[in-house]
Amino acid sequence: MRIPCVLGAMILVLSGCIGPESQTAVVAPSPFLNQQAPATRARASFAPPSTAVAARVDTIGRNILAANEQAGIKPLFRTIGVTQLEIFHHGTSEVDITEGLVKQCASDGQLAALLCQELGKMVAEREASADAKIKVPQAEPPMDVRVGHDGDSAYGAADQTRMAELAKFEQSHRRQAASAAAAPDPVYLGRLYLTRAGFNDADYTAVVPLLQTVSNGGKLEQQLTGPAPSSQSWVR
């Protein structure tokens, strides 16, 4: 009969020998399951800018990029709704400018000058960090083609043609290496991007005082990107 079995089970439950937790198999938890994901640095949040200011920045930024496709960058233009006067970038993916700085620009040309200057810094940093060997392929010296009895002498060709070719190669190769090692001038790039976008170079001159106040990285930039790597000013 099954009644005694049921009664026996009930007695075990009441006596505490069998608890609710024993109804399922207990597996020792994996040490990896209890580990928390590494904490990521939360990006600081700020008040959104006015729609008109954000649209102005985005439109001018897009027009600059469309006129300078050869620069090889397509960053997002982000307006931060604060009164500080700051502009900075994240790698080649984003240009940040504050609403306060935008409102200091009396014309679209002046705002374009600020954005172009930041793009110039962005491209200059990208090029400076690139490997010189990638930018300048290793050239091979000219082939030594001997004619007649040129190889009979211990001093090479009688007319020293080979030595002249090698000297020309060395001089050209040194110029290429020096050019690769020199970082592009961000000011030159910024002015170039500005004029290519249809604005006047005088707009850049007009915002030089503004650039001098924001060129060294402010508190807002440090909150979003960390300490500025250098206090060097790109303004001239």
User: Mean pLDDT over all residues of the chain?
Assistant: 74
Per residue in 177-236, pLDDT tens?
A: 555 556 789 999 999 999 999 999 999 999 998 888 885 556 777 776 655 444 334 445
Task: State the alpha helices, DSSP H only, in the chain.
Answer: 3-14, 51-67, 99-103, 108-129, 132-135, 161-181, 186-196, 201-214, 219-225
- Segment 53-67 shows an average pLDDT of 98
Q: Looking at the DSSP assignment, which residues form a beta bridge with residue 76?
A: 94
Q: Domain boundaries in the chain?
A: 51-130+185-225, 133-143+150-181
Q: Are 75 and 93 in contact (CB under 8 A)?
A: yes
Per residue in 97-107, pLDDT tens?
A: 999 999 999 99
- Return the CA Rg of the chain: 34
CATH classification code of 51-130+185-225: 3.30.2010.10
pLDDT of residue 228: 45
pLDDT of residue 74: 95
pLDDT of residue 24: 39
pTM: 0.59
Q: Are 91 and 110 in contact (CB under 8 A)?
A: no
Structure tokens at 190: 């910024």
**DSSP run (H or E) holding 95:** strand 94-98
For residue 46, name the pLDDT band (cuts at 50, 70, 90). confident
pLDDT of residue 39: 46
